[in-house]
Amino acid sequence: MEATMAAPEEAIILAQRMADLYQDYAQVEAVTLNGSRTSGVAVDARSDIDLEVYTAKGEFPLEERRAIVERLGGATRVNLGLRFWGDGDIWFDARSGIEVDVVYPSQRSTEEELDHTLRQHLPSGAYSTCTWHSVRTAHILFDRRGWFGQLQAWSDQPYPPELRRAIIDHNFPILRDIIPSYRYNVEKSLPRRDLVFINNEVTWLLACYFDVLFAFNQVPHPGSKRLLEQAARLCPRRPQDLAGQVTEVLRLSAVGDAGLLTAIDRLVDGLEGLLGEEVS
């Protein structure tokens, strides 16, 4: 479905109207605006509204979610209770045509994720610090008892050096240094012309690559969208011609070209060079 062009202020007004409706429900503790409208990148006609509705306990019943859509004026298309990437709803606002994306994290799960990141310094296979970024950059639309404001204040801290080291140590070797690395798996699969597997491995290679790059620059990971633009904006220390190198890897992986291995090595070499500058 094509998104219609809406003025930025129209989207903000719609987001606040939604927050005003969500606060009528006792299980809602806070509502925040996230995504492209708080990330610093330019929004366009396809930019949606990303809301996070934090619940104190229990689930948010579907009939109450449906009531909110109806009170807003209805939708041209709506999917409620999606479970593919966590509990969420997506719809197109009938009046403005704006796409609305709502997720319902619990207070407890959010606190636990931040604890894993900022206290325990635990990395993940990719996107290690996305929750930290999301909390730190969110725009608060409603905060019943000030819980989210306190969480946000805690998240506004320097990048822990232990976390930076942990992410690099966890994600850089799997790019190509160990036997079951993404590069090695691509090398095995090229003669088989297994394009689906090759592109799956390249996807994860790039995800881990950017996780390392953001950690190296001591920047919380901004999420999976528009990463080249985000890296150019947030990472003062990055390989030369990063966009060109990533584009070449993607171009060659799409067709399973044998030159893909050279392109991957060129990409990883640049990152390895950055990491080596600190130990040389």
Is the model's pLDDT at 38 over the cut of 80? no
Is the model's pLDDT at 280 over the cut of 60? no
* Residue pLDDT, tens place only, 57-72: 777 889 999 999 999 9
**Which residue(s) pair with 50 in the sheet?**
34, 101
Is the whole-model pTM more than 0.85? yes
User: What is the per-residue DSSP string for 147-167?
Assistant: HHHHHHHHH-SPPPHHHHHHH
Is the model's pLDDT at 2 over the cut of 80? no
Residue 3's pLDDT is 44
Whether residue 200 lies inside any domain: the answer is: yes
Is the model's pLDDT at 152 over the cut of 90? yes
Residue 60's pLDDT is 85
Mean pLDDT of 157-182: 97
Domain of residue 137, CATH code: 3.30.460.10
Query: Which two tokens mark 95?
Result: 């009046």
Query: Which two tokens mark 158?
Result: 């320097």
Q: At CB < 8 A and 24+ separation, what contacts does 108-114 make?
A: 110/54, 110/135, 110/151, 111/151, 114/151, 114/154, 114/155
Residue 4's pLDDT is 46
Contact of 157 with 249, CB cutoff 8 Å = no
- Answer yes or no: do 183 and 146 share one domain: no
> Which residue range forms the structural domain that includes residue 166?
161-277
Is the model's pLDDT at 54 over the cut of 70? yes
Mean pLDDT of 176-189: 97
Domain of residue 265, CATH code: 1.20.120
Q: Which residue matches tokens 């969420």?
A: 88
Mean pLDDT of 90-109: 94
Total of domains in the chain = 2
Burial (Cβ within 10 Å: 0-12, 13-18, ≥19) of residue 122: middle
Phi, psi of 30 (to 5 degrees): -160, 155
- Average pLDDT, rounded, for the chain: 92
